[in-house]
Amino acid sequence: MNLWSDDNSSMMEAFMASADLSGYPSWAAPSPAPMTPAPAAAVLSPAPASYFNQETLQQRLQTLIETAKETWTYAIFWQSSVDVATGDSLLGWGDGYYKGGSEEDKRRGRSSASSAADQEHRKRVLRQLNSLISGGPPSDEAVEEEVTDTEWFFLVSMTQSFVNGDGLPGQALFSGQPSWLAGGGMLAVAPCERARQGQQFGIQTIVCFPVGSGVLELGSTGLIFHSNEITNKVRILFSFNGLEVAGGGGGSWIPPPQFSSAAAAVNHGETDPAAMWISDPSVVEIKDLVSPAEIAASKQSVQFENPSSSGLTENPSSMHMQQQFHHEQQQNGVGNPPAQPPLFGNRESNFSEFAMNSSRPQQQQQFNPAETGEILNFSERKRNPPPAIPGASLFSSHQNPKAEDTSKGNKRSAAAAASRVRNNVDEGMLSFSSAPTTCPSSASQVKPNGSGGIVAGGGGGESEHSDLEASVKEVESSRVVEPEKRPRKRGRKPANGREEPLNHVEAERQRREKLNQRFYALRAVVPNVSKMDKASLLGDAISYITELKSKMQSVESENQGLRSQLEVLKNEKETSPGRPDQQQAADRCLQGVKIEVRILAGPEAMIRLQCARMNHPTARLMGALKELDLEVLYASVSVVKEVMVQQATVKMASRRYTQEQLSAALYSRIAELPSA
């Protein structure tokens, strides 16, 4: 919100803080030359996304946009994460792809919305970012072209985050159903600040798909109405077979049909970078939609062939200081002469590796950053421990000071992730025993070594559990290593030769992830979650629901009372009441309910009710009198055989009724059967 103010320091602070605390990853901005109409006019590949390998994520966004029939302007993947300290669910920038709008969009973007001051502001910010990335002083030569509204909107989206189901993406995530807003009107009335801002910046259509552990948002300056085509595309590219929505409600988001195999292949590619590294054919399937050169580039970046970056990670504090320096610089002044060529528009950069390494310094330091180490390293990074993916801490860092916690909080699962990855490597090597880089020939030798080159995860060569390894150990201790055992059944665990368990663990992983997402979502909607514990959360949710339910019905009954009271009041106001609705009371009269009402002097009235004695008619009458706010001055009840006669003298305290009103009101409350 205030990010949108003209005071750019807050925004810069957000940017800075993100880079500062969590190692903001590779940077690129919307192309400062918005004229380029070709695909990949501008690419952002910042924060790593859980589940999604960064490169394939980026590629998939691009694929989605570029191959879509509709003209989408941008695609953003909002990465979901959770602040372990507060339990808040956070949707933060995961990755984005900006294509740009049509020609008239640009014209409009340039002409109308953005004033000169705006432009100056935008350029200033871009310059700041530029300098931040390049490490040099701010340079304005990079930002010569105008920054269109949509570009700006896209850019600024990076600073957005959505807590606990806020906003359009949050709603999509929590509800599990895609939301489709087409048309400025829809955007303007949407219960989401972002939608309104987008509309303000010329966005006409915004769609949010819940996807895995995040939300995919598509935006367009054009009017795009719901189509199954894009939905299918999204499903194919992003689905984890886990997209079907829990809630009923006939969403258009049908469960994935027969794409499961394709999706599984995609999963394989995105969760097993090793497999991708060795050019898994299933990845090529995706790849052929994009430039193969890009794949190569991204592969290179994976390898950290730049030693300086790994050097940096060995001392994270240096990076911190560096960012700090820039931060001060930015606060002191802007617009210094340029020094480095701007990085904007470049798809890959050293900075990317830098950030990738720095995002998890504690493990990185223990690694030998050469050869296969990076594979493990990288694959570590791909995992999605709910908190502390940098994209999330980017935003949480400037929202609360606990970002340090979150980044620490994932340390736990890192080891597990590493061991899992190791398994993946084992499996991945199945078909490529002569993989190019390192790839130890025998899988059974890979695991326990700890000295060769592959160190699995957190604590050195510690007991890296995973029971199969234990069994291996046992075998090794009982016998000497049997080299001829390896060719027999390469990997080990499979038990049955099928590689189904590999997909199985992935599926299970996703299931857990989904469940956890739901838990987080639940935690978000339930107030006063006592403990962070799951069971407690459920218990609280239950009691909350019951409480809400009971409160609901009490409020509703009160509402009912008020409503009828009001109705009576209004009727009376018209001075000529004429029609108090008692047409349905007529037949109930036949059941032996007889009401007699007489208005006495002043505010007093006499009521006489005769009915069957069963079912506590006294309670009903008195309840009705209470609802109508009639104070009892005198009453008497007597029963003769099965008939009860109630007589009461009441005072109309807060308002007065006519005889007909009173009669009608009483009838409706007494003669009608109780709603229960």
Partner DNA sequence: ATCCACACGTGACGC
Partner DNA sequence: TGCGTCACGTGTGGA
Site string for a copy of itself, 536-565 (x = CB under 8 A): xxxxxxxxxxx-xx-xx-xxx-xx--xx-x
Among 174, 201, 351, 667, binds a copy of itself (CB under 8 A): 174
Per CB under 8 A, contacts with a copy of itself among 233-272 are 242, 245-249
The count of residues in the chain is 676
Q: Which does 503 bind (CB under 5 to 8 A by kind): DNA, a copy of itself, none?
A: DNA
In the chain, the amino acid numbered 287 is K
Question: Residue 654 contacts by C-beta under 8 Å, 6 or more apart in sequence?
Answer: 629
Question: Which of the ranges 56-64, 350-358, 531-539, 540-548 carries the binding residues for DNA, by CB under 7 A?
Answer: 531-539
Q: Which does 464 bind (CB under 5 to 8 A by kind): DNA, a copy of itself, none?
A: DNA
Question: By the 8 A CB rule, do 127 and 335 touch?
Answer: yes
Distances (CA, A) of 36 to 33, 39, 42, 149, 203: 6, 8, 9, 16, 19
CB nearer to a copy of itself: pick between 75 and 607: 607
The C-alpha atoms of residue 90 and residue 517 are separated, in whole angstroms, by: 11
For position 467 contacting DNA by CB under 7 A, the verdict is: yes
Whose CA is closest to 632, among 616, 609, 611?
609
For position 463 contacting DNA by CB under 7 A, the verdict is: yes
Among 116, 480, 495, 676, binds DNA (CB under 7 A): 495
Which residues face 42 on adjacent strands?
98
CB nearer to a copy of itself: pick between 35 and 633: 633
Q: How far is the CB of 263 from DNA (least distance, A)?
A: 7
How is residue 290 written in tokens?
Answer: 């994009």
- Cα-Cα-Cα-Cα torsion 106, 107, 111, 116, nearest 10 degrees, comes to 40
Q: Which does 264 bind (CB under 5 to 8 A by kind): a copy of itself, DNA, none?
A: DNA
In the chain, the amino acid numbered 509 is R
Q: Which does 610 bind (CB under 5 to 8 A by kind): DNA, a copy of itself, none?
A: none
Per CB under 8 A, contacts with a copy of itself among 373-432 are none
Site string for a copy of itself, 9-38 (x = CB under 8 A): ------------------------------
Distance of CA 217 to the CA centre of its chain: 11
Which residues face 632 on adjacent strands?
650
Q: Which does 544 bind (CB under 5 to 8 A by kind): a copy of itself, DNA, none?
A: a copy of itself
Question: Which of the ranges 20-28, 42-50, 77-85, 173-181 carries the binding residues for a copy of itself, by CB under 8 A?
Answer: 173-181
In the chain, the amino acid numbered 403 is A
Per CB under 8 A, contacts with a copy of itself among 462-491 are 463, 465, 467-468, 470-472, 474-475, 478-479, 482, 485, 488-489
Q: How far is the CB of 614 from a copy of itself (least distance, A)?
A: 8
Q: How far is the CB of 434 from DNA (least distance, A)?
A: 24
For position 641 contacting a copy of itself by CB under 8 A, the verdict is: no
For position 459 contacting DNA by CB under 7 A, the verdict is: yes
CB nearer to a copy of itself: pick between 35 and 552: 552
For position 528 contacting a copy of itself by CB under 8 A, the verdict is: yes
Question: Which of the ranges 22-30, 149-157, 220-228, 461-469 carries the binding residues for a copy of itself, by CB under 8 A?
Answer: 461-469
For position 589 contacting a copy of itself by CB under 8 A, the verdict is: no
Output 668-671 pairs: Cβ under 8 A, ≥24 positions apart. Answer: 668/564, 668/581, 668/582, 668/585, 669/564, 669/620, 669/623, 669/624, 669/627, 669/628, 670/593, 670/595, 670/609, 670/611, 670/617, 670/620, 670/621, 670/624, 671/585, 671/588, 671/589, 671/591, 671/593, 671/595
Q: Which does 508 bind (CB under 5 to 8 A by kind): a copy of itself, DNA, none?
A: DNA
The C-alpha atoms of residue 10 and residue 21 are separated, in whole angstroms, by: 16
Question: By the 8 A CB rule, do 240 and 213 touch?
Answer: no
Among 361, 655, 658, 660, binds a copy of itself (CB under 8 A): 655
CB nearer to DNA: pick between 535 and 614: 535
Q: Which does 385 bind (CB under 5 to 8 A by kind): a copy of itself, DNA, none?
A: DNA
The C-alpha atoms of residue 15 and residue 394 are separated, in whole angstroms, by: 8
The size of the interface with a copy of itself (CB under 8 A), counted in residues, is 102
For position 402 contacting DNA by CB under 7 A, the verdict is: no
CB nearer to a copy of itself: pick between 145 and 629: 629
CB nearer to a copy of itself: pick between 405 and 631: 631
How is residue 326 written in tokens?
Answer: 């820039």
Which residues face 180 on adjacent strands?
207
179-182 and 594-599: which strand pairing?
A: unpaired
Q: Which does 623 bind (CB under 5 to 8 A by kind): DNA, a copy of itself, none?
A: a copy of itself
Question: By the 8 A CB rule, do 164 and 175 touch?
Answer: no
Cα-trace Rg, the chain: 33
How is residue 433 written in tokens?
Answer: 């025993």
Beta-sheet strands, E only, within 190-274: 205-211, 214-220
Token pair 């029963």 is found at: 639
How is residue 338 written in tokens?
Answer: 């340029």
The C-alpha atoms of residue 314 and residue 364 are separated, in whole angstroms, by: 7
DSSP-based three-state secondary structure for 332: helix
Q: Which does 462 bind (CB under 5 to 8 A by kind): DNA, a copy of itself, none?
A: DNA
CB nearer to a copy of itself: pick between 213 and 377: 213
For position 512 contacting DNA by CB under 7 A, the verdict is: yes
59 φ, ψ to 5°?
-65, -40
The size of the interface with DNA (CB under 7 A), counted in residues, is 55
Contact positions toward DNA, by CB under 7 A? 241-242, 244, 255-256, 260-261, 264, 383, 385-386, 408-409, 411-413, 415-417, 419-420, 423, 457-459, 462-468, 470, 493, 495-496, 500-505, 507-509, 511-516, 532-535
